Structure formats: C-alpha cells, structure tokens
Structure 1
Amino acid sequence: MVSYFATCLCLSNKKEYPSFFRTIPSDAFQVTAMMEIIKYFKWTWVGLIASDNDYGQYAMRNFNEEMKAIGCLAFSETIPKIMTKENLLRIVSVIKESTAKVIVAFSTGLEMSLFMKEMIHQNITDRQWIASEGWSTSTLLAARDNFNILGGTLGIAVHSGQMKGLTNFLLQVRPDLDPNNNLVMQFWERMFACKFVESGVNDSGSIISDSKKCTGLESLEGTDTAYSDVSNSRISYNIYKAVYSLAHALHNLMACEHGKGPFENKSCANIANLQPWQLLQYLKNVDFINQLGERVAFDENGDALAIYDIVNWQLDKSGTVNIKTIGVFDKAAIFGKELFLQENSMFWKFDNGRCPQSICSASCLPGTRKAIRKGQPVCCFDCIPCANGEISMQNDSIECVQCSDDYWSNLEKTWCVLKEVEFLSYEDSMGIALTTLSLSGTCLSICVLTIFIYYRNTPVVKANNSELSFLLLISLTLCFVCALCFIGKPSHVTCMLRHVMFGISFVLCISCILVKTIVVIMAFKATLPGNNIMKWFGAAQQRGTVFFFTFIQSLICIIWLSTAPPFPVRNSKNINTKIILECDIGSLTGFSCLLGYIGLLACICFLLAFLARNLPDTFNEARFITFSMLIFCAVWITFIPAYISSPGKYTVAVEIFAILASSFGVLLSIFAPKCYIILLKPEENNKRALMGR
C-alpha cells in the first residue's frame, strides 16, 4: 500500500491506483524542483534527454509543459531502449551542435553510462548537467574518469535522513538471531571472509582451516563499509517513513471510538478482522511529525509532501568524486522559499569558475523591444531599438510605448521627457539680432522723416510730393515696428495684432508708392500743352486714394478676425522633439486675401513705375520706385520657399527677415538718393539745378 521507491507520475492517478501511497516524491515534484533550479540561475535555453520508459517519458512530457512558462527547449531527445551506434551518434551530435549549455537528463545510471562514453570520446565538456533522481547519486557515473564531462553536475536526490539508533541496530545484527535468514549469513561470510559450514569446504571446493569458519561472534563495530555508513540514508529513510505511516494509521484505527468511526453507521474497524480498505481510510489522513522533525502526510493523490536534496558533483582532497548536498527543495516551505541553495559550496567546472549562461538570445535592455525570429522558439529573438518618440522601461519588452503629445523619448528610449518649448524670444541671439534690425529700421525711418520735415521747403522735398513722402515714411516706420510683434511668446492678442499690423502697414506703404508713381506720370503728362489732368488728381484725391486702398485691406482684416482669427497653437508635428509655439492663421482664405491684396498693389505699382522709367532725369523718381518694387517682389517671392522649408522658430525668423528686408529696400531705394542731395549736396537742392534739363 505504501511504496518507498516508485516515482512514476502515472501512479498519482487515483482512478487507476486508488489504494497507492508513497513516501518518495512523484516525478512531477522532481520536475518542479528542476524548474526552480533553472529559474534560480536564469537559464532559459535548455536541452532535454530522457529514457524510453514511463519514468522518462512522463517526466519529459511534464518538463516540456513546465518549461514553456520560463523558457524554451533547445532540443528534446529520447534514449532508446536498444541503443545503436547510429542513435547514439545522432543524439550526441544534437547536443554538440546546440547552443544550449544546460542539459536535463531523466534516466538511470546504466543508460547514462553508455551515453557518457561517447560524450567523453568526443570531448564535449562545456555542458552543465542536471541529473534526475534516477542517476544523481549513481556511483557508476560518479567516477574520476567522467569528471571532465559530469563535474559540477546538479542533481535531484531523494531526501536523506539521519535516523536515530539505525547504526546501533545494524551493528547488533547477528546470524544466530534468525538462522533461517540466509541473506544475513551470506552477508556475514562476505564481511569476515569465513564460512558457516561444518565440512570446512568453501565455494571453490577446497578445504578451509578452522580459523576461516564463521562463529557468529565476530564484531561489526570495527568495520568501515557501506553497510555501516548511514550518512546518506535516502531510500532507507523513505522505508522508515513508510513503516511509521502505517504504524500511525493502525494506531488511529485502534483508537477509534464506537459511534465516531469513519465507516457505515459511524462504526470502527475490527483489528482482529482488519480489511485493507479500512486501513486505507486512516492512511489518507495520516499527518505527523517524525523524530527528525519532518512532517509526514499524503495529498489527495497519495503522494508524500515533496522534499528533495540538491546535490553537486565535486572532487574531494583525495581526488574522489564526492556527491555533496548543497541545498534542499521543500514543497511544504513558505511560498517563494521552497528552494534553498548554498552557492558558496557549489562547484562549477567551467574555466571562469562561475555559473554558466544558457540563453538563446541575450535579454533586451530597456529602450529596445523583442522581435521573434521567424521559425524559431520564442526564446530566440532580436532586440530592436524603439522608434523615436517610443520607450520601453523594462527588460524584454514585447512592444514600445508611444509617448504622449507633449513628451518625447530620451536618447536611451527609456523615459518620456517633456518636449522643449520653442519660440522666437527676445532673449536668444536670433531674436536679439532681429529686434536690433527692427529698431534700427524704425530709427532710420524716423530720422529720414525728421530730415524731410526740416527741409520741407526745399525743392527736392517739394518736387517729390512731400505729403505722400511723410505718409510713406510713417508707414515704413509701422512696417519696421510690426516685426516686433512676431517676436516673443505668441498669445491671442499678438497673433491677431501681428497679421493685422503687417497687412495694413504694408498696404499703406505700397499705396503711397503707387500714388506717388501715378503723380509722377500725371505730372509729366501735365507739362504737355493743353493738358490739365492734375486738377483731377490733386492732394485731396491722392490722400483719398491712399486711404481707400488701405480701407480695403482693413475690411479684409475685420472680416478675417470676426470669422476665424489667428490663435496661438502648440505645434509638435513638424519637429517631433520640440513643441513650437506659433500662431495658426485661423482662416487660410483670409490670410491669402491679405497677402494677395498686397501682392496685387505691388505688381501694379511695379508695372506703372516700369512704364515711367524713361521720364526725364529731373523726374527720375519712377526709376527708384521701380528698383524698390523689384527688391520688394524679389524678397517676398524668395520668402515663400524659405518659409516652407524653415523649421521651428526659424519660420517666424524668415517672415521677420522678409518684412525687414523689403522695408529696408523701399526706404533706401526711394529716400537714400534724396537724403544724399539734401545733406551732402545742398548746392544741388535748388530750383535751377532741379529744372536743369
């Protein structure tokens, strides 16, 4: 009813074996113990070989299922019952070619010995073996000649126990205690090299002397053999637990009180007529602490509480292979503490003396993700860096996580950091340079206006329509000032103000130039006999024309602002690593109308000035206007591709530069020659010089 040596997982099936109990752990627990060792050393790429019998195949199937949770099998091979040279070479070749450094073997010592001869022959020494209970303590394999291959083997061994009084019991054995026990007599004759025979004839038929006859009084206390060595009582300890389990079951059966029994009508068993099924009922409920402090009980499958010794194959000082216990696996321990290993006592046969690594692919660090290799196990993968804007914060991440809109991945792709907020500010070097240019242009316009006001009664100023010149200089001043609205952090006010001020100031400027061009042409035509056209385009009409053109632009701005005005936005699409604070134009139609109107006036002005370029030199202002409009148009045509291709704050910088460049072009082209005459050539600033031609 209670086995002390059968480990097959199949025996846990209560439907087939309802009355089977055992004090040796099932192979299922052996696999669990191996899994804990593999997890402890972080081995994820493991090879497996097993015998072609119930012991090996059940264990192989169970191990394969358990391994899926923590890693992969590099290979899985069965050792056939009839080992041919061809099969042996094939299995050894699989091991040799595999990258797995750890191999688990469910087999017996005899089967492994045949297998190891070929491993030694091919000198495959760079493998870490994990031995099942079937050969972990095999003295046949634990030989000095096998140590290059099997040295450092980790094994699962049946738990040993130091049973009190066992040594004294063994030493008290005498052949006369039971004359019918032939086994004891054979042991005695072997131990003391004597014979229990009256004739004095030994096995070979020769006569032996009286001194070689066994008396039965020889002492076992002075002997040192495996018989008296109880330091590794493994199977004996399981027999000990099995006997005591039955003893406790019988004790509980005998202690049954009538009316409280487990059987029909709460009856108890009759010890004088005991049935096996009655003892079975009590055996199920056995639960006691033995003299070694170990709990003995059975689960619902009749399996004992699993406890294994973890052994390590080492060399002692004499050069003998020592199977040393270096840990324990106790299924009944606290969760997470089932496995205990003394790492300082372990021996690794590898050159560096350290635990080997057995992985198909190295762990993917944070900042990367796993990409499974097609057609290979999940443990074999490549580590792909996360894309920009994505992160992974853990090892072996399956996928990268996208950062939110206002965040971006750091260089290592391990953390989302707040994006840099960018706008053209007054503090950075570009903002300072553009501000300086804007203020310089403003001051220059004011200086020219001051000069013209001061010299307003001179022929040069009068001949160039002083009122329109004053108004043009004011509009140029506004053009330079409006550039400042584009610098600084965008807000609702500045976004609307910058476009409105830009549109109106430039239309005012172009309108003044256009009217001046018209005045130049009409003034020339008025000099012809009988032509009095200037009376229809006097000062009032000129002012009215300028303000009419400006009013149209103002109307466009009012409609634009009332329907879909510009507003500040946080743009993170153009440059992924930055948040660009900029102004959204709101309505593309409104912005297009504003720019289109400016372009229309500039083109008309350029055409009229170009047609009037051949007027007499005295009235050569048309040439200057033509040149200024040529600069104006060239700047804004060049602005379009530069604006589109410029990233971040440079987009605004390009727009400001276009405003300043076109404003400087108009200011210098039209007013620089006049200021040159007024300030440096005052002798030419008179009516005679002006009317010279």
Structure 2
Amino acid sequence: MVSGFDVLPSTLEPISYGVMNRPFNDRIEFPFFYRTVLNGYAQNQGLIQLLNFFGWNWVGILTSEDESDQRDSEELKREIIRSGNCVAFVEIMPVVFFLAVIPLKKITAAADNVSKSLAKVVIIYSSINLLPSLFCFYPDFRNIKGKMWFISVAISSLINFNRPGMIPACEPLSGSLAFTIAKEQIPGFKDFLYSINPSTFPEPSFLQPLWKEAFNCDPLSNVSNCTGKEMLSNLSHLQFDVDNFQFTYSLYTSIYVLAHALHNMYLVKSQHGGDLKLEFHPWQLNHYIKTVRFKTPGGREIFFDDKGNVPVYYDIVNLVQLQDGSLSSVKIGSFNQSAPEGHQLLLNSSAIFWNSYFDQTPSSVCSENCAPGYRKIALPMKPVCCFDCVPCSKGEFSNTTDAENCMRCPEDHWPNENHNDCLPRTIIFLSYEDPLGAVLASVAIFFSIISALVLGIFITFRDTPLVKANNRDLSYILLFSLMLTFLCSLVFIGQAGRVTCLLRQAAFGIIFTIAVSSVLAKAVTVVIAFSATKPSGKLSKWVGTRVSSYLVLLCSSGEIVICILWLLISPPFPEYDTKTVTGQMILQCNEGSTIAFYSVIGYIGFLAFLSFIVAFLVRKLPDCFNEAQFITFSMLVFCSVWVSFIPAYLSTKGKYMVAVEIFAILASSAGLLGCIFIPKCYIILLRPDLNTRMHLTGKQHLTKSK
C-alpha cells in the first residue's frame, strides 16, 4: 500500500512519500513502515558537513513553537554539539504569529537576540513555510545585518525554491543557502501533462481546480465554458511548473518500489513452482520491500536502510537576488548520503553569491582560530568553541591551527621565534676556532715548550752543582710531568667524545699528582738534607737513599687507584646540555661521579697542602742551600688557584666551565714552573759564578769573613 498519511493500520506495509516525522524511525513500533521522502536525520548530517566545510562552529537556530519543530531543533542542536561545533542560541517564534495574531514584543526580542549574537550563520529549522516571511515583512528582522541564513529542506520543499520567480522580493535572504529535494525527471510525465485537456478526465480529478484557476474553465459545472483547447503547455512556469514535482517524484518512486517488490515476489513464487496468482497477505510483502534495490532513470540508487529510509540526495541552492528584486535559486552543490564517506558533500563555493554585507565567505566562530605557535585554553562557563589563545611555552611549539596542546621539540631541536616549527639547535663547545679556546691552547703550548726548554737546560747542565744539589732526578720528573700537564689541557679543548671524556680527567689527575708528589718529595728531601748536617741527626741514615723516588711512586699510586675506581664504577661520558642556553645545545662531558671528580681534585689539593706545610716549616734555612722558600711560594700560588677554582667551576656552565678548569691547570702548573725553576735557570744561564759547590755550601762566605 502506498500512502502519504501518518497513521496506517499496523497490518499493512505502508510506503510513504510525504511523511518526514522522526518517530517513524522506531522500527519496534513501526517495523513495516517505509518511506521514499527525505528524513530529518540525513538533513542533520548534511548540515554538519556543510558547517565543517566552511568552518562555521558557532551557529544559531531559529524555529517555531510547534512541538515537532522544537523536537527536531533539539535533535539538531545535539548533533551539532556532538560533532564538535556549538549552538549560540535557539530562538523559538510563537505559533500565534503564523495564525496572523502578531506578538510584536516576542518578535522584537527574538530579533534583538539574533542581531546581538556573534553567530553569523542562523539555521531556519522549521516545517512552517511562513517563517522566512519574517525577514521580508517585519522591520525588526529586515534590519538585521551581517547574518547568513540557512533554510531547512522542509521549508524549501513547501516554498519550492526550484521554481524561478516563486520567491518574492526579500533582500535579507539574498545570499542564503538552502537544502532542497533534488530534482528528478519522471519519464514521459511532462509529455503526458502537455497532452491532456479538460475533457480528458470527465470525472472529478485533482486537475479540476487548476483548469478553473488557469482558464476559468470548470469541466464539471452545468454551464461549462471550456473550449477543449485548454492545454497546460500554454501556461507559464509561474502558473504551472512541470519540471519540479518533488512529492510527485517521491510518489512515483514509492509506486516503483512496490512494483519491484511484487515482481520479485512473483519471480520467487514461479521458481518454486507455486501458484502464480498474486494472492498474499500484506505482511508477506515486507521481506521483498525491504530487499528492493534498483536505479532510477536519473541514476539514483533506491534501497531501504535499517530504519526504512531511502538514501538521501539533496540539492544545495543559493538564493540570488534578481534585478526585479525577486530571488532565484541557483544550484551550487549536492549532498548524497549513499556516497562514500568524505565524498557525500559536493560544493562549488566559488559559485556562491553571498549577501552584499559580506565581501568574502562569512566566518561564524565564537573565537578566532589560534594560529600556529599558540594553543587553546577553555573559558570558564563557555562552550568548547569559545576559547582564548596563548603562546606556546618556552621549548614548545604548535604547527596547526587551534592546537589543543603545544608539543615539545626533540632534544636536539628548539622552537623558532614564532613557536610554529622546530629548528636544529646550535651545538656549542670550547673549540680551537673559538677565541677563548685558541688563547688557552696557545698558552698551554707555550708553557709546554718552556717546560721542555727548562728540562733541556737541566739535562745540559746536569753535572753542575746547582742541578745536583736540587735532586736532578726529581727535577726531571717534575719538569716532564709539568710539560705533560700543559699538553693535557689540550684534551679539554675541542669536540668532546667518549674517549676524550674518559681520558682527560684521569690523565690530568695522575700526571698532575706526579708533579705535586715531586714537589712534596723535594720538600721532604730538603728536610732530610738539613737534618743530616746536624750533629747526631736521626735522618742522616736516609741521606743518599731513593726515598724521594719511592715517595713520588707512593703518592701517585693513591691517585691512580681513585681514577681506576672512577672509570670502573661511574666513568665520564659525553652529553648534550639543552637547558642552560636557549636555542643551543652544549656538548660537554658529564663527569659521571661527582664524588670521584672532587676526590681527584681533593687528593691533589691534599698533597699540595702537605707540601706547603713541609716547605713552610723549613723556609728559614739558608737560601743558598735549599729551595724551601720557592716551594712554599709555589704551593701558596697553587692552593690559591685551586681554592678559587671550586666556586668558579660551580658557578659556570658549558664551555666556560671547561675554560675555568683549563685556566686552573695552566695557572697552577705555571706557578710551579715559575717559582721553582725560573730562579735556577737564571743562575745557570746568567750567573754561572753562583753555580759553584763552594757557594752552595756557604764556604765562600766563611772565607771572606776570615
């Protein structure tokens, strides 16, 4: 049975061509209800895709007090919110307005709310076709500027936007968009209509009012003035449009659905050898209606979904104002529900003529998009479409619009100035190309050459009394270790690697310990030598032994043990410091164990302090005999440098931390070299008259006094 009514006996299988009501989607209450007319749920899908296409996330809804309209509007609102968009307002127009009782206060209040809203897009969502007349006849709505109206399919199908010239002059609606039932041709129907005249159907028919209105001809009246030559082809499209029969096409589709279902049932019956007489109970036809699938002459595929609806196909039209002030509709797109996802909405946005108020595609958002480099923060008590944009924090970036959160750059990258991209960090370290590194390297090489020259002088003049008197073996060891210490500082300069990080602190610690141990051995040698000259001196038996060499070996062994344990338990390793300098990455050596590092420095400091104490105690011995005063002063310089090193080292970062340590190494080593050996080189090279045994033993002074 084919019907356009809402209520039908439950024992029948109705196929409706005009019922759009949403409750008929309930397959429990209406299991045998089918319809070929478009449904509201599909319209909501198309609306949401249209909103997303233009980026309209802040829209208003204008509807009526009609119960069905309010229910459908609330459903639309929920669907819009579920899609991630927002509804700024839902304005409900009183029903009495449509009964010609005009509630001006309510209309004015509604118009005021619509006008003040930030929403530029307003959806007219109703099944009452008089609602758009608000914008044509009432000043409160006519004066609303800067709004883009979207008209639902229920209103457009009643007004029939597809018929040119049927929309009266209404400037506010110019540029509006609307969903309309897609046009489809019924084969032969137009030719049939053009072929009939008043005498074709002598019995009453739906064409009787048309003959009477168009030709003042009533074929059924007793006094008929029909000539028999009245033809529908003589009428203009304004009087009778034969190209746009929307509900007629739905009826046509419904009949063909029923025909296909009956045909399929007939085929099944014949294949099983049953009686070919089409006698059946109405409920038996349900299965064949449900499985119907065919294509219309226009290429549209017809089948029923699980709710008994056919696939929706809408035309999207743009209302354009003509020269005479009337509005005409221009198709600018379509919505095909049965198309694959992502291809359902087809729209030619460049063909749209917007209202003259807009010079480009209107924007309808609560908050403008957050540009890359910013992130969204929600506003209290506001919908998700209303937000503030705040710049990304230090070290973070966002490269999309409306980013929910900023992202951190990789460790080796840093955000650019706009925080919308990450750039590779500049790797910095104390290099030889760096002026500071070049100066320190030059100083280190210079002092290592000086140490080598002094060592060469001592080897050349090894048989002179001065060199012999100052324990030349210890002097060789001290000078060689100082030369290596100066060269060792070069390992601290340049790009840090795994090997250099492992070696530089350990090598420096061991070599420098040998140097300080040699100084300590020199100081102890002075004590032994002085005590041996005293009558009944207890240390006289140690004179001539290799105590000094054993002392250097013993003291150095302690540092070697510390370094070996350090390298085995927690060795240094190269790392990138990405936190100290903004936008840069410092390549440095992580010392691994801080305790081990300061143990190495502390052990050297302990030996230096011990050397200072020993040398200080014997500082008043005759200058010509010993070097205690030189050792005392060199240890004073040494301790001063390393005591100041600790706070300076802790307060600097990156390459300057390395520079501080190199400076401490060079300064303390230069102090030892200068204080201990420069006076001796002066005597050896410039005052050979003082480099005699008699002068060193003090006998020259005794001779002169006699």
> Shared topology, TM-score over 0.5?
yes
Which residue of structure 1 aligns with residue 131 of structure 2? 111
- For residues 54 and 172 of structure 1, do their structure 2 counterparts lie closer, same or farther at Cα, with a shift above 3 Å needed? farther
- 1:207 aligns with none
Which whole-Å CA distance do the structure 1 matches of 2:442 and 2:639 have between them?
A: 24
Matches within 5 A, 1:196-215: 215=227
Counterpart pick for 1:230 among 230, 237, 242: 242
In the superposition, the TM-score normalised over structure 2's length comes to 0.80
Q: Residues 104 and 131 of structure 1 are in contact (CA less than 8 Å); yes or no, is this contact kept in structure 2?
A: yes
Query: Are the equivalent residues in 1 in contact too, given 2:115–2:145 (CA < 8 A)?
Result: no
Contact 2:170–2:326 (Cα < 8 Å) also in 1 = no
1:442-591 to structure 2, matched below 5 A, reads: 442-456=448-462, 461=467, 464=470, 466=472, 468-487=474-493, 494-495=500-501, 497-518=503-524, 535-536=540-541, 538-540=543-545, 543-545=546-548, 547-558=550-561, 560-561=563-564, 564-565=567-568, 567-572=571-576, 575=579, 578=585, 580-582=587-589, 584-586=591-593, 590-591=596-597
1:198, 1:339 → 2: CA distance? Answer: 52
**Aligned: 1:99 with 2:118:** yes
Q: State whether residues 157 and 311 of structure 1, in contact with CA within 8 Å, keep that contact through their aligned partners in structure 2.
A: yes
Task: Pick which of 165-174 and 487-496 moved more.
Answer: 487-496
Matched, 1:123 2:143: yes
Paired letter, 2:116: E
Query: Which residue, 155, 161, 165 being the options, matches 1:135?
Result: 155
Tell me the residue number matched to 1:37: 50
Unaligned runs of 5+ in 2: 5-16, 98-102
Amino acid at match of 2:176: T
Among 124, 147, 159, which residue is 2:182 paired with? Answer: 159
Instruction: Report the CA distance between 1:662 and its aligned residue.
Output: 0.5
The residue type paired with residue 150 of structure 1 is L
Counterpart amino acid of residue 158 in structure 1: I
Structure 1 window deviating more from structure 2 (214-223 vs 22-31): it is 214-223
CA drift of 1:484 comes to 3.5
SS at the partner of 1:547? Answer: helix
Residue 365 of structure 2 aligns to a residue in which SS?
coil
Among all aligned residue pairs of Structure 1 and Structure 2, give the percentage whose two residues are the same amino acid.
Answer: 36
Q: Residues 400-435 of structure 1, C-alpha deviation per residue, up to 9 Å, x if partnerless?
A: 55566x644553767777776666555655544433
Contact 2:332 / 2:352 at 8 angstroms: preserved in 1?
Answer: yes
Aligned-residue offset at 1:335:
4.2
In the TM superposition, residue 28 of structure 1 has moved relative to its aligned partner by 1.3
Cross-structure match for 1:2: 3
Checking the alignment, whether the CA contact within 8 Å between 1:327 and 1:339 is kept in structure 2 is yes
Partner of 1:51: 64
1:132 Cα shift? 0.4
CA distance 1:283–1:575, shift in 2 (3 Å): closer
For 1:230, the aligned partner's letter is V
Query: 1:186/1:378 Cα in 2 relative to 1: closer, same or farther (>3 Å)?
Result: closer
Structure-2 separation of matches of 1:258 and 1:507: 111
Q: Give a deviation string over 1:515-570, Cα, whole Å, max 9, x none.
A: 44455567777888x57577355343xx5145325413314423651575363424
Quick one: distance in 1 between partners of 2:477 and 2:306?
105
Change in Cα spacing, 1:332 to 1:183, as seen in structure 2 (3 Å) is closer
2: CA distance, partners of 1:198 / 1:54: 42
CA distance in 1, matches of 2:222, 2:496: 123
TM-aligned CA deviation for residue 632 of structure 1: 0.9
Q: How far does the alpha carbon of each residue in 1:65-116 deviate from its partner, in whole angstroms, 9 at most, with x for none? A: 4322242323334334346445434433443333332222211331332366
**Residues 196-595 of structure 1 aligned to structure 2 (within 5 Å):** 215=227, 217-218=229-230, 220-248=232-260, 257=269, 260=272, 277=283, 283-349=289-355, 353-364=359-370, 369-383=375-389, 396-400=402-406, 407-411=412-416, 424=430, 430-456=436-462, 461=467, 464=470, 466=472, 468-487=474-493, 494-495=500-501, 497-518=503-524, 535-536=540-541, 538-540=543-545, 543-545=546-548, 547-558=550-561, 560-561=563-564, 564-565=567-568, 567-572=571-576, 575=579, 578=585, 580-582=587-589, 584-586=591-593, 590-595=596-601
- The answer to whether structure 1 residue 146 and structure 2 residue 170 are counterparts is yes
Name the CA shift for 1:385/1:313 in 2 (closer, same or farther; >3 Å).
same
1:28-56 C-alpha deviation (Å, 9 max, x unpaired)? 12112222222322333332333333542
**What is the aligned counterpart of 2:107 among 71, 81, 88?**
88
SS in 2 for 1:571: strand
Question: Shift in Å at residue 321 of structure 1?
Answer: 1.0
Q: Write out per-residue CA displacement over residues 137-156 of structure 1, whole angstroms, 9 at most, x where no aligned residue.
A: 66599866532x22211111
Count of matched residue positions in the alignment of Structure 1 and Structure 2: 670
Give the secondary-structure state (helix, strand or coil) at the position aligned to 2:146.
coil
- Relative to structure 1, is the Cα distance of residues 498 and 349 closer, same or farther in structure 2, using a 3 angstrom cutoff? same
User: How big is the shift at 1:500?
Assistant: 4.1
Give the alignment's Cα RMSD to 1 decimal.
Answer: 4.2
Amino acid at match of 1:346: I
Whether the aligned pair in 2 keeps the contact of 1:6 and 1:22 (CA below 8 Å) is yes
Question: Secondary structure in 1 aligned to 2:156?
Answer: coil
| Structure 1 SS opposite 2:319 | strand
1:190-223, Cα deviation, whole Å (9 max, x unpaired): 33457889999xxxxxxxxxxx965554555443
**How has the CA–CA distance of structure 1 residues 54 and 288 changed in structure 2, closer, same or farther, with 3 Å as cutoff?**
farther
**One-letter identity of the residue aligned with 2:66:** N
Matched, 1:66 2:66: no
Q: What is the one-letter code of the residue matched to 1:131?
A: I
Do the aligned partners of 1:507 and 1:550 also contact (CA within 8 Å) in 2? Answer: no
- Measured in 1, the distance between the counterparts of 2:364 and 2:354 equals 14
Structure 1 window deviating more from structure 2 (34-43 vs 54-63): it is 54-63
- Alignment check: 8 A CA contact 2:120 2:364 kept: yes
Which stretch shifts more, 610-619 or 4-13? 610-619
Query: Displacement of 1:623 after TM fit?
Result: 3.9
Preserved CA contact (<8 Å) 1:126 1:350:
no
Mark the runs of 5 or more structure 1 residues left unpaired by the alignment.
201-211
Letter matched to residue 97 of structure 1 = K
Alignment match, 2:7:
none
Is the 1:8–1:58 contact (alpha carbons within 8 Å) kept by the matching residues of 2? no
> 1:550/1:495 Cα in 2 relative to 1: closer, same or farther (>3 Å)?
farther
Q: Distance in 2 between matches of 1:507 and 1:300?
A: 89
Structure 1 Cα separation of the partners of residues 465 and 217 of structure 2: 153
Are residues 319 and 610 of structure 1, via their aligned partners in 2, closer, same or farther at CA, if it must alter by over 3 Å?
same
Cα 1:574–1:628 change in 2 (3 A) is farther
Asked if 1:628 corresponds to 2:634, the answer is: yes
The answer to whether the 8 Å contact 2:562/2:599 transfers is no
Shift of 1:663: 0.5
Distance 1:348 1:234, change over 3 A: same
Shift of 1:348: 1.7
Deviation at 1:664, TM superposition (A): 0.7
Q: CA deviation at 1:126?
A: 1.6
CA distance in 2, matches of 1:408, 1:31: 45
What is the SS of the residue equivalent to 1:49?
A: strand
Equivalent residues of 2:373, 2:392 under 8 A apart: yes
